[in-house]
A and B are shown apart, each in its own frame.
Chain A
């Protein structure tokens, strides 16, 4: 059986139904364990003090803000190339989750920035590209809402998604491109010298797993809602015609 068959709306509703409770359950467990571990059981950092505990929210949400857009990009490309309706609906479903992650990253970053940098906001390359990513999310959702014909909306939002990917990538690599600004380099690295200490690293990994699972669960749930909305619209149109 081809992989694409799983994306058939009927098949998609069939396999995602039983998966959803497990995805939400696993996300809940990972988030509860990771945040409890990070908040209650880790020590303060010698420079940042207790504000280091914000890392368990800021890093996973920032990671997911970028990855959500990348997932939308892949889904949009599939729509443009293969005209697969579920992929367009999955991209649409992911946007509100992605913007929530972006907002969490921006707000926790600002709250952390005030005591550490002495300001809530700076026009730093990474912060600015993240703000632009947030605006792209807003524009993407507004475009979906503004166009009545779903296929035209999917086409135009897909193009917007491709353009916005530049800023999604930029927000990840801005620190490397421009060696200036306040934001430090990546907190997670394969290089053990650059990575955060193990005492912060392991609860952070659990929190990241929790955010990834929550994203997957929410996108599946919201895609199911979009498929139902599309079916409802088709039924209503049929009723009007007869």
Chain B
């Protein structure tokens, strides 16, 4: 499945791996912070109105 990358296989694959890990990390972190903040705000709003 993986194309023949010749003698630079390690470099190409590691560049893709590093980039994909960093992109997934920033997406995951942003998503987690968003969910955490939304829940905290909902709780505070409920306390205020309840």
Contact = CB atoms under 8 A, between A and B. Distances in A.
B33 A225 contact: yes
B3 A40 contact: yes
A107 B5 contact: no
Contacts of A83: none
Interface stretch (A48-56, A130-138, A192-200): A48-56
A167 B39 CA distance: 39
Nearest to A20: B34
B16 A39 contact: yes
Contact of B23 (A58, A100, A225, A235): A100
Nearest to A218: B30
Nearest to B33: A225
A75 B17 CA distance: 32
Most buried by A among B19, B23, B38, B41: B19
Interface residues of A, number: 37
Given A40-B3, A54-B15, A103 B33 contact: no
B15 A57 contact: yes
Given A57-B15, A218-B30, A232-B40, A100 B8 contact: no
B16 to A, nearest CB: 7
Given A232-B41, A235-B45, A222 B6 contact: no
A235 B7 CA distance: 59
A229 interface: yes
Contacts of A111: 11, 14-15, 18
Contact of A50 (B9, B19, B41): B9
A201 to B, nearest CB: 19
A57 B17 CA distance: 11
Contacts of A35: 16
B11 A115 contact: yes
A54 B34 contact: no
Contacts of B48: 235, 238-239
A171 to B, nearest CB: 19
A100 B12 CA distance: 19
B44 A236 contact: yes
Interface in A1-55: 35, 39-40, 44, 49-51, 53-54
Given A39-B16, A61-B19, A108-B19, A228 B31 contact: no
B22 A100 contact: yes
A57 B16 contact: yes
A28 B30 CA distance: 16
9 contacts: A50-B8, A51-B12, A54-B15, A104-B19, A104-B23, A218-B30, A221-B34, A229-B37, A236-B44
